[in-house]
């Protein structure tokens, strides 16, 4: 069992097993429980160290335990980093030692070949190293015994002819290789030319599609700008009309205030306006004809004013409906133009795809012909150039 000491070192603690009687073990367990309960009660009922709602000792203990755990984790991570670095250094040193060992072995092997396995020390050195003529010149044939013979009868006959045939065969092989290389280079050039043309066509198609997309975006932007301008003009006209109406109402109110009986101090105000004269009820015979005609006239004027307001609202509603109809027609026309542009774009894309399919088919036929026959024809190049234009 490992125990962590305050200094940070580890100490091995030996645990000895002691056989106790059953009664003594029970008494010891009861005593431990009693002492733990007494300690807990002393901690709980101690007013000097008790804080309402917060146990500072427990919190400090938790903080210390957390710090200790974090410190241990940092030390463990550092130990792991050191171990990983040590393993990396060991592996790197092993790799370096292995390379040095292989280099030393190769050097020793080369030195051994140069020292103990020279071509001049072999038994047929005179044949391999060009010493055959010198051998026959320095030592006469009559002085050679049976064990000294190295060239037997029939071995050297036709060697010059064989060498010439070998040279001719090597020349034919070199010529065939050169022709094969030329055909391969020509095939690679044709393939690169086809790839370059295909890339040019793809770039051209991308440019065309980008131009069509820009035109569509420009048309949509123009339509949106026109719509916004129409809405802005309509809103400005509405604000102007509201401003004029407010000015008219303010002027009418000012005029009414300035010409009222209160401002002019008219003597007939009591009869015409706000406070009628006192009437004796028992002697009142009803309104006069002038009063009745004034009431009827005012009612007729109010009716005519109401009719004029309704007519003005009808005219305004008709103008609004006409404006909405124009806007809806403009939107339908814009949608029709966009649909026409999309249809033209699809038609152009279809044509371009058909053209690319034809060129791909022609390219495939040409590649098959080149692979199986290795003889490209001028008619095919002219046809391809004409189709590419």
Q: How many CB atoms lie within 10 A of CB 367?
A: 14
3-state DSSP of the chain: CEEECCCCCEEECCCCCCCCCHHHHHHHHHHHHHHHHHHHHHHHCCCCCCCCCCCHHHHHHHHHHHHHHHHHHHHHHHHHHHHHHHHHHHHHHHHHHHHHHHHHHHHHHHHHHHHHCCHHHCCCHHHHCCCHHHHHHHCCHHHCCHHHCCCCCCCCCCHHHHHHHHHHHHHHHHHHHHHHHHHHHHHHHHHHHHHHHHHHHHHHHHHHHHHHHHHHHHHHHHHHHHHHHHHHHHHHHHHHHHHHHHHHHHHHHHHHHHCCHHHHCCCCHHHHCCCCCCCCHHHCCCCCHHHHHHHHHHHHHHHHHHHHHHHHHHHHHHHHHHHHHHHHHHHHHHHHHHHHHHHHHHHHHHHHHHHHHHHHHHHHHHHHHHHHHCCCCHHHHHHHHHHHC
Q: How confident is the model at residue 389, as a pLDDT? A: 47
CA distances from 19 to 16, 25, 33, 61, 146 (A): 10, 9, 21, 36, 102
φ/ψ of 144, rounded to 5, equals -85, 135
pLDDT over 90 (residue 266): no
Q: Of 48-57, 182-191, 339-348, 358-367, which gets the smallest average pLDDT?
A: 48-57
Q: How confident is the model at residue 198, as a pLDDT? A: 87
Q: Would you list the domain boundaries of the chain? A: 58-115, 189-255+294-388
Rg value, the chain, Cα: 58
Q: How confident is the model at residue 309, as a pLDDT? A: 93
Distance between CA 178 and CA 201 in Å, rounded? 34
Over residues 70-85, the pLDDT tens digits come to: 999 999 999 999 998 9
pLDDT over 50 (residue 221): yes
Q: How confident is the model at residue 345, as a pLDDT? A: 92
pLDDT over 50 (residue 311): yes
**What band does 8 get if pLDDT is binned at 50, 70 and 90?**
very low
Which of 176, 140, 174, 136 has the alpha carbon at shortest distance from 156?
A: 136
Q: How confident is the model at residue 10, as a pLDDT? A: 38
Sequence length of the chain is 389
Distance between CA 369 and CA 377 in Å, rounded? 9
Over residues 283-304, the pLDDT tens digits come to: 667 777 888 899 999 999 999 9
pLDDT over 50 (residue 137): no
Distance between CA 4 and CA 9 in Å, rounded? 6
Return the percentage of the chain with pLDDT > 70, whole number.
Answer: 70
pLDDT over 60 (residue 19): no
Over residues 118-127, the pLDDT tens digits come to: 767 666 665 5
Q: How confident is the model at residue 72, as a pLDDT? A: 93
Q: How confident is the model at residue 134, as a pLDDT? A: 41
Q: How confident is the model at residue 12, as a pLDDT? A: 39
Q: Of 172-186, 209-223, 244-258, 372-386, which gets the smallest average pLDDT?
A: 372-386
Cβ(128)–Cβ(122) below 8 Å: yes
What is the average per-residue pLDDT within 33-53? 75
Q: How confident is the model at residue 129, as a pLDDT? A: 54
Q: How confident is the model at residue 132, as a pLDDT? A: 44
pTM of this structure = 0.23
pLDDT over 80 (residue 271): no
Mean pLDDT (the chain) is 78
Return the percentage of the chain with pLDDT > 90, whole number.
Answer: 28
Distance between CA 278 and CA 271 in Å, rounded? 10
Across 39-43, 133-137, 160-164, 186-190, which has the greatest mean pLDDT? 186-190
Q: How confident is the model at residue 344, as a pLDDT? A: 92
pLDDT over 50 (residue 69): yes
**What band does 117 get if pLDDT is binned at 50, 70 and 90?**
confident
Q: What would the two tokens of residue 327 be? A: 């806007």
pLDDT over 90 (residue 382): no
Over residues 313-338, the pLDDT tens digits come to: 999 999 999 999 999 899 999 999 99
Over residues 149-203, the pLDDT tens digits come to: 655 655 555 677 888 888 888 888 888 888 998 998 999 888 888 888 888 888 8
Q: Which residues of 18-56 are buried (b: 16+ CB within 10 A; e: fewer)?
A: eeeeeeeeeeeeeeeeeeeeeeeeeeeeeeeeeeeeeee
Cβ(270)–Cβ(276) below 8 Å: yes
Cβ(4)–Cβ(10) below 8 Å: yes
**What band does 133 get if pLDDT is binned at 50, 70 and 90?**
very low
């Amino acid at each position: 069992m490992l125990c962590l000491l305050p200094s940070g070192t580890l100490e091995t603690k030996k645990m000895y097993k002691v056989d106790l009687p059953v009664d003594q073990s029970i008494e010891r367990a009861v005593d431990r429980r009693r002492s733990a309960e007494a300690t807990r009660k002393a901690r709980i009922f101690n007013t000097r160290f008790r804080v309402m709602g917060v146990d500072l000792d427990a919190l400090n203990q938790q903080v210390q335990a957390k710090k200790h755990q974090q410190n241990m984790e940092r030390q463990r991570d550092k130990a792991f980093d050191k171990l990983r670095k040590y393993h990396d250094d060991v592996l790197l040193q092993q790799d370096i030692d292995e390379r040095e060992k292989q280099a030393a072995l190769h050097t020793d092997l080369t030195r051994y070949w140069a020292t103990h396995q020279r071509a001049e020390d072999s038994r047929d050195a005179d044949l391999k190293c060009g010493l055959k003529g010198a051998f026959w010149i320095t030592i006469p044939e009559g002085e050679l015994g049976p064990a000294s013979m190295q060239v037997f009868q029939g071995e050297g006959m036709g060697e010059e002819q064989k060498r010439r045939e070998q040279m001719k065969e090597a020349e034919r092989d070199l010529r065939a290789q050169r022709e094969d290389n030329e055909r391969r280079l020509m095939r690679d050039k044709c393939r690169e030319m086809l790839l370059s043309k295909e890339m040019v066509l793809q770039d051209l198609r991308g440019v065309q599609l980008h131009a069509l997309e820009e035109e569509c975006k420009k048309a949509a932007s123009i339509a949106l700008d026109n719509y916004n301008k129409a809405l802005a003009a309509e809103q400005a006209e509405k604000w102007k009309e509201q401003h004029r109406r407010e000015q008219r109402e303010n002027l009418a109110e000012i005029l009414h205030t300035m010409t009222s009986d209160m401002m002019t101090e008219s003597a007939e105000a009591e009869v015409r306006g706000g406070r009628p004269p006192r009437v004796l009820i028992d002697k009142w015979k009803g309104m006069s004809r002038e009063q009745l005609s004034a009431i009827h006239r005012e009612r007729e004027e109010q009716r005519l004013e109401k009719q004029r307001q309704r007519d003005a609202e009808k005219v305004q509603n008709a103008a609004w409906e006409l404006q909405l109809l124009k806007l809806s027609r403009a939107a339908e026309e814009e949608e029709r133009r966009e649909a026409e542009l999309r249809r033209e774009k699809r038609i152009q894309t279809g044509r371009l795809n058909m053209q690319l399919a034809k060129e791909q088919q022609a390219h495939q036929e040409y590649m098959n012909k080149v692979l199986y026959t290795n003889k490209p024809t001028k008619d095919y190049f002219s046809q391809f150039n004409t189709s590419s234009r």
